[in-house]
Amino acid sequence: MLADQSWAAQAACAQTEPDALFVRGAAQRSARAVCSACPVRAECLADALDSATEFGVWGGLTERERRALLRRYPQVDDWATWLGQQNEEVDAVLLGGRTGRRSAVTA
């Protein structure tokens, strides 16, 4: 988990109702939309992956998408570093599989 949580104050969701990010089904689309232009999306995603956060939308990914990513890359123990090194993979991850091709998240 990232020790420095100062990024959270810059998050797009910092000014929204927290329960809006802990939804199921089609409502997750709205929650993900909050993340789409967030300046700290990668930091949020890395924190959620490092801590294996089970519920809610974090870094633009649902719990199902994060579980798939954790299963696909079990050797990763520092997600912030990994995300910083994986240009194409990061694009697929942060787009949440909406690239028209099968992404790491949905594989």
Interval 22-37: pLDDT, tens:
888 888 888 888 888 8
* Residue 102 clears pLDDT 60, i.e. is over it: no
Domain ranges, residue 79: 6-94
Question: Can you name the residues that pair with 61 across neighbouring β-strands?
Answer: 58
Can you tell me the mean pLDDT for 70-89? Answer: 86
Q: Is the pTM of this model over 0.85?
A: no
Give the Cα separation of 95 and 61 in Å (integer): 9
Q: Does residue 107 lie in a domain region?
A: no
Structurally, how many domains does the chain consist of? 1
Q: Does residue 77 lie in a domain region?
A: yes
CB of 50 closer than 8 Å to CB of 83: no
Q: Does residue 102 lie in a domain region?
A: no
Dihedral sign for Cα 18, 51, 37, 101, please.
Answer: negative
Q: Does residue 99 lie in a domain region?
A: no
Task: Give percent above pLDDT 90 in the chain.
Answer: 30
